Amino acid sequence: MATKPSLALIPSAYKASKVYSILPNNGDGDFTFSRGSEATRINKDGLIETVLDNIPRLDYSDGGCPSLLLEPQRTNLFENSSRVNEANTSNFAIGTGQTPTVLSENNLAPDGSLTACEWNFNVGSGVTTDDASLINKSYATTSGVDYTLSVYIYAELDNTKIYIRAAGSIYSLRTLNAGWNKVEVTDTATSTSSSWLIGLRQAFSGGIINSNITVKIWGLQVEEGSYVTSYIPTSGGAATRDNDFISGAGNANLFNSLDGTFFVQMASFLNTQTNSNGIELSDSSGQNRVTIQYDTTNNQIRAEIKVANVTEALFFTSTYDVTNFNKIAVTYKYNEAKLYINGNLISTDTNVNIFAEDTLTEVRSTIAGISSGAFNLQAKIKDLRVYDKALTDAELIELTSN
Partner 1 sequence: MKIGKYEFNDKTQADSKIKALGVETNEEGIEYPTHGHAVVTLGHIVIEEGTYDENGDVITEPVLSDKYHVDVMWQGLENHPYGWSTYAVTPSDNGLHSFLGIDYQEYKL
Residue nearer to partner 1 on the CB measure, 123 or 329 = 123
Among 23, 47, 94, 127, contact with partner 1 (rule: CB under 8 A): 94
Closest approach of partner 1 to the CB of residue 343, in Å: 30
| 3-state secondary structure at position 377 | coil
Q: Does residue number 39 form part of the binding site for partner 1 (CB under 8 A)?
A: yes
Letters for 153-172 (x = contact with partner 1 by CB under 8 A, - = none) are ------------x-xxx---
Among 1, 13, 16, 52, contact with partner 1 (rule: CB under 8 A): 52
Radius of gyration from C-alpha coordinates of the chain: 24
Residue nearer to partner 1 on the CB measure, 59 or 242 = 242
Phi, psi of 272 (to 5 degrees): -115, 115
Among 122, 160, 172, 194, contact with partner 1 (rule: CB under 8 A): 194
Phi, psi of 152 (to 5 degrees): -90, 130
Q: Does residue number 276 form part of the binding site for partner 1 (CB under 8 A)?
A: yes
Total residues interacting with partner 1, rule: CB under 8 A: 51
Contacts of 149 (CB under 8 A, 6+ apart): 164, 165, 166, 184, 185, 186, 187, 196, 220, 221, 222
Q: Residue 164: which of 148, 177, 140 has the closest Cα? A: 148
Q: Which helix (H) or strand (E) holds 303?
A: strand 301-307
Q: Which helix (H) or strand (E) holds 214?
A: strand 212-224
| 3-state secondary structure at position 394 | helix
Task: Give the Å distances, CA to CA, from 137 to 80, 90, 133, 166, 194.
Answer: 11, 6, 14, 10, 8
Among 41, 83, 137, 302, contact with partner 1 (rule: CB under 8 A): 137
Letters for 350-379 (x = contact with partner 1 by CB under 8 A, - = none) are ------------------x-xxxxxx----
Residue nearer to partner 1 on the CB measure, 106 or 309 = 309
Q: Does residue number 36 form part of the binding site for partner 1 (CB under 8 A)?
A: yes
Closest approach of partner 1 to the CB of residue 235, in Å: 9
Q: Report whether 210 contacts 160 (CB < 8 A).
A: yes
How far apart, in whole angstroms, are the C-alpha atoms of residue 389 and residue 261? 6
Closest approach of partner 1 to the CB of residue 169, in Å: 4
Among 242, 244, 280, 283, contact with partner 1 (rule: CB under 8 A): 242
Q: Does residue number 308 form part of the binding site for partner 1 (CB under 8 A)?
A: no
Residue nearer to partner 1 on the CB measure, 29 or 233 = 233
Identity of the amino acid at 18? K
Among 53, 86, 259, 358, contact with partner 1 (rule: CB under 8 A): 53
Closest approach of partner 1 to the CB of residue 373, in Å: 7
Q: How far is CA 114 from the centre of its chain?
A: 27
Task: Give the Å distances, CA to CA, from 308 to 63, 165, 286.
Answer: 41, 49, 9
Give residues in contact with partner 1 (CB under 8 A).
36-39, 50, 52-53, 73, 75, 90, 92, 94, 129, 132, 134, 136-140, 142, 165, 167-169, 191-195, 197, 201, 232-233, 236-243, 275-276, 368, 370-375
